[in-house]
């Protein structure tokens, strides 16, 4: 019951942050096109680091759209399936299962209570001398907490669609994911886990 309640509250928060227009898109509904992402051709890879190593894996985009005006990126919204977390570097199947289970637990992303995360672009700045490069600011909603993050994006339209790439660094402690963080726990030694994790995003449509 508690998990259903948390999911419902989180959904309301996501709706709240999804309303309104994206800054920089000028914009009437007649001149901005909404183009859906092809989730089968898009990938979201993660890297988490600790003092003595790192782990890598993937997570699926559930849905998403980009907003274009005359072929120029002006915004976008994305939903991530948090229950789709995988690992790609661990060979031992039991250890792999243990890691995925831990990342899915309340120590990290608590995917039973928060099965999705979202990102909504709120500001887009196009580089004048590099027309396919942008600085993007977006609201990331994870575990019902929303934080603003800025990051570089490469985006271009193709003959029959679009391609976009971004490398994003997120500080997990901003979303109250503190497990193994030396900022909050003492005596972790070489078991400390870095606060920042990386997302390598490739989208296509």
- 4-30 per-position pLDDT tens digit: 444 444 644 444 444 444 444 334 456
CATH value at residue 40:
2.40.128.110
Angstrom distance (rounded) from CA 109 to CA 91 = 23
Q: What is the pTM of this model?
A: 0.84
Q: Which domain holds residue 106?
A: 2-204
> Structurally, how many domains does the chain consist of?
1
Q: Do the beta carbons of residue 101 and residue 107 sit within 8 Å?
A: no
pLDDT value at 116 more than 90: yes
Token pair, residue 150, equals 């800025």
Handedness of CA 189, 89, 149, 117 (dihedral sign): negative
Q: pLDDT of 145-178, one tens digit each?
A: 999 999 999 999 988 899 999 999 999 999 999 9
The pLDDT score that the predictor gives to residue 190 is 82
Query: What length does the chain have?
Result: 205
């Amino acid at each position: 019951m508690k998990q259903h309640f948390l999911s419902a509250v989180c959904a309301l928060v996501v709706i709240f942050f999804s309303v309104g227009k994206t800054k920089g898109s000028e914009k009437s509904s007649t001149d901005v096109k909404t183009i859906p992402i092809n989730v089968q051709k898009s990938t979201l890879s993660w890297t988490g680091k600790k003092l003595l190593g790192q782990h890598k894996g993937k997570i699926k985009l559930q849905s998403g759209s980009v907003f274009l005006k005359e072929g120029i990126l002006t915004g976008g919204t994305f939903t991530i399936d948090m229950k789709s977390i995988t690992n790609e570097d661990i060979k031992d199947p039991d250890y792999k299962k243990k890691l995925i289970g831990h990342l899915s637990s309340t120590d990290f992303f608590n995917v039973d209570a928060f099965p999705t995360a979202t990102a909504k672009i709120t500001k887009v700045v196009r580089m004048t001398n590099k027309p396919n490069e942008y600085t993007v600011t977006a609201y990331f909603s994870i575990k019902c907490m929303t934080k603003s993050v800025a990051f570089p994006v490469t985006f271009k339209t193709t003959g029959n669609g679009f391609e976009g790439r971004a490398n994003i660094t997120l500080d997990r402690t901003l979303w109250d994911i503190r497990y193994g963080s030396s900022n909050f726990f003492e005596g972790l030694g070489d078991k400390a886990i870095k606060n920042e994790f990386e997302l390598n995003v490739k989208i296509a449509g």
